[in-house]
Structure 1
């Protein structure tokens, strides 16, 4: 009888630890979604800027806002900078997607682990009620 009580306590402790791990993972997933959302907005803005730059004539004046000052910039340089930014943001989004997929797989395995522990607890409780 004492061994089943100890086993129950051990299972409950393990369940709490896994539940805490799951909560932490869910917070990380939420943080990933927030960051991904910001990058998606930035990507859209930069693609819009690129479309606007493509509409300009080669002799058009282009200015870049640096702090409170507008600085004249070469059209080709501005175009290259925006393309590099789009490339960087796209790479970050791919990295975030891969990280998110990995975290979701971990989340699913943790959920399965929690369910197995809960089943073991139920079996132990059913055994106690028969006694």
Structure 2
């Protein structure tokens, strides 16, 4: 939305309870920096999520193998 403003438009920044006049170029730069930071955080968190999903799947496989072993042992005891 800041890109749609003319060069002489007034831009204000809320600092506490006060609106302070800010340069349009400075406001654009701040918004772009925030967008870059948020994008980087999203990429980092997506990587962490994929890592956690991989760990979850490996743990799930381990649990299934243990359950199969327990069932096999119980079936062996039932026959004996």
TM-score normalised over the length of structure 1? 0.60
What per-residue deviation string (whole Å, max 9, x for no partner) do you get for residues 21-69 of structure 1? xxxxxxxxxxxxxxxxxxxxxxxxxxxxxxx100111111100111211
Is residue 113 from structure 1 mapped to residue 62 from structure 2 by the alignment? Answer: yes
Higher-Rg member (1/2) = 2
The structure with the largest helix share of the pair is 1
Higher normalized strand content (fraction of residues): 2
Number of aligned residues: 80
- Which consecutive residues of structure 1, in runs of 5 or more, have no partner in the other structure? 1-51
Hey, which bits of structure 1, 4+ residues long, moved more than 4 A? none
Give the structure-2-normalised TM-score: 0.98
**Pairwise CA RMSD of aligned residues?**
0.5
Higher RCO (C-alpha 8 Å, min separation 6): 1
User: Can you give the 5+ residue segments of structure 2 that lack an aligned partner in the other structure?
Assistant: none
